[in-house]
Amino acid sequence: MNSYFQFSCFIFLRTDKEYQQRRLLDTLVSGVKIHFERYDEQSLMLEGSINKLRAWDPDTSKTTSDRNRHLLRLVNQDESRKDEQPFFSFRYRTFKTLYNRHHEHSHLPDWIENKIASGDIDDYLTVKMRPLELNYIRERTAELADYLNNGLPGKGMGATSKAAQSFCASRIRTRSFLDLVIDQPRLFIPRSSSSSIGGCYISLGTLTVTSWFEEACARIDFNKSRMTETHNLAGAHSFSFSSEDDESRDKMDWWRVLDLSLGIGVKIEVDEPITLEGLSNPDICLDTSLTMRKPSLGETTVIQGNSPSLNINLKYREFVMLNLIASENMCPIDESKWDNIEKSYWQAEDQASADQYESILSYAESARIVRFGEAKTKSTDSKTQFGFFVDSISVTLHR
């Protein structure tokens, strides 16, 4: 017997600094839908979608143009159409029994079917996103990051980071698949927060991130074994194991593979707004792909990248605009204006505790410091080999 539930809602989130009487960010998420199913064999399926997303800057204490108040918005969104595809959708499916892993491949996406060797699979996640545009003003983005890092998690940020690292490390060693597709995201960096014309568009084409595992059967001696790893940048990898006795058995090893492909296009806006047709003819163009392979038994992580061409075509006025963006938008930030009282509070609290501890505790000059336990040392066994190839480079500069 299967069990399931589903719900839908919309979310409005406001972040503000009430002691300064100003708002930092308003975010509206509408059309949130979640569908969950659990099956008799303890596997599950979770899928959901978000129809629309919008984030804007409501802060009136700073001079910001109407164009630059749209911090995050969907591209080519028609508010009147009800049949448009959702902005964000995902599907997560787990398999808990061997029966599912070997007999339910008909429910798997085609790209997973083509990469499975033994039939075993723990889970897969597919994520799709429609085109979106991010407006980047350095001071505003840095203040938002500071607000989220210190205002919400506070002291727990370090523990949260360690938990995320542990989760990623454990995911690498599972038979899981990931497929992430973001359709033509782009970043707009304006000349300044108050400017209505002038800036730089960075388009990423269709960004795809795919992760899977590749199985390889290796013969290992579990008592005493020596492993030799051979590799090259062309993508050939092999392992050989030698032991001092004949007590050995087969063990299944696999590579965790991460593949990323994107096309980077840069278009400079000088004296008039750039249309979608203008974005299709960038001033700087780079199509690239990266593949990372991390073995579960070996020590070397191999990262390979290639690009057929790099084309740069800049006029003098476009170079001047890049210089203005760097001097007006990317200039140093005065953090004293943020008045982050949460961060100041717990920093003062830590200092007061340290001062109190030092005032009541003292050591004799002849005292010995004894350290219990094993000293923590950073492992130096892991290695990374990186190679990136560009077939051709073309640079054209106009005066």
357: in domain:
no
pLDDT of residue 58: 92
46: in domain:
yes
> Which comes out higher in pLDDT, residue 218 or 264?
264
**Same domain membership, residue 143 and residue 198:** no
162: in domain:
no
Residue 184 pLDDT exceeds 60:
yes
**Same domain membership, residue 396 and residue 298:** yes
**Same domain membership, residue 317 and residue 397:** yes
pLDDT of residue 180: 92
Residue 63 pLDDT exceeds 70:
yes
pLDDT of residue 129: 93
pTM of the predicted model, to two decimals? 0.73
pLDDT of residue 250: 42
How many CB atoms sit inside 10 A of residue 262's CB? 19
**Same domain membership, residue 152 and residue 11:** yes
CA distances from 264 to 216, 281, 289, 309 (A): 35, 12, 11, 11
Q: Pick from 41-45, 62-66, 350-354 the range whose average pLDDT is largest.
A: 62-66
3 state SS of 213? strand
Show which of 157, 173, 207 is a domain's final residue: 157
**Same domain membership, residue 89 and residue 42:** yes
35: in domain:
yes
**Same domain membership, residue 392 and residue 281:** yes
User: How confident is the model over 175-201, as a mean pLDDT?
Assistant: 91
Measured between its terminal Cα atoms, the distance across the chain in Å is 73
Show which of 157, 180, 213 is a domain's final residue: 157
Q: Could you report the per-residue pLDDT of 128-156, keeping only the tens digit for each?
A: 999 999 999 999 999 888 887 776 555 55
Q: Which two tokens stand for residue 73?
A: 């918005």
Residue 219 pLDDT exceeds 60:
no
User: How confident is the model over 201-219, as a mean pLDDT?
Assistant: 77
Q: Which two tokens stand for residue 321?
A: 């605009």
Residue 201 in contact with residue 274, Cβ under 8 Å?
yes
- What are the φ/ψ torsions at residue 277 (nearest 5 degrees)? -65, -35
**Same domain membership, residue 207 and residue 149:** no
Q: Could you report the per-residue pLDDT of 268-301, keeping only the tens digit for each?
A: 999 888 888 888 889 999 989 999 888 776 778 8
339: in domain:
no
Q: Pick from 58-72, 213-227, 229-243 the range whose average pLDDT is largest.
A: 58-72
Question: What is the average pLDDT value for the chain, to the nearest integer?
Answer: 77
Residue 249 pLDDT exceeds 50:
no
Residue 85 in contact with residue 130, Cβ under 8 Å?
yes
> Which comes out higher in pLDDT, residue 236 or 90?
90
Q: Could you report the per-residue pLDDT of 75-101, keeping only the tens digit for each?
A: 875 555 555 688 899 999 888 755 445
**Same domain membership, residue 196 and residue 107:** no
Number of folded domains that form the chain: 2
Please, which pLDDT band fits residue 371 given cuts at 50, 70 and 90? Answer: low
- Comparing CA positions, the residue from 108, 68, 106 lying closest to residue 198 is 68
169: in domain:
no
> Which comes out higher in pLDDT, residue 251 or 275?
275
Residue 295 in contact with residue 310, Cβ under 8 Å?
no
Residue 111 in contact with residue 179, Cβ under 8 Å?
yes
368: in domain:
no
279: in domain:
yes
**Same domain membership, residue 140 and residue 196:** no
Please, which pLDDT band fits residue 342 given cuts at 50, 70 and 90? Answer: low
Show which of 141, 157, 173 is a domain's final residue: 157
Question: Could you tell me the residue range of the domain that residue 242 belongs to?
Answer: 189-332+382-399
Residue 167 pLDDT exceeds 90:
no
Residue 242 in contact with residue 225, Cβ under 8 Å?
yes
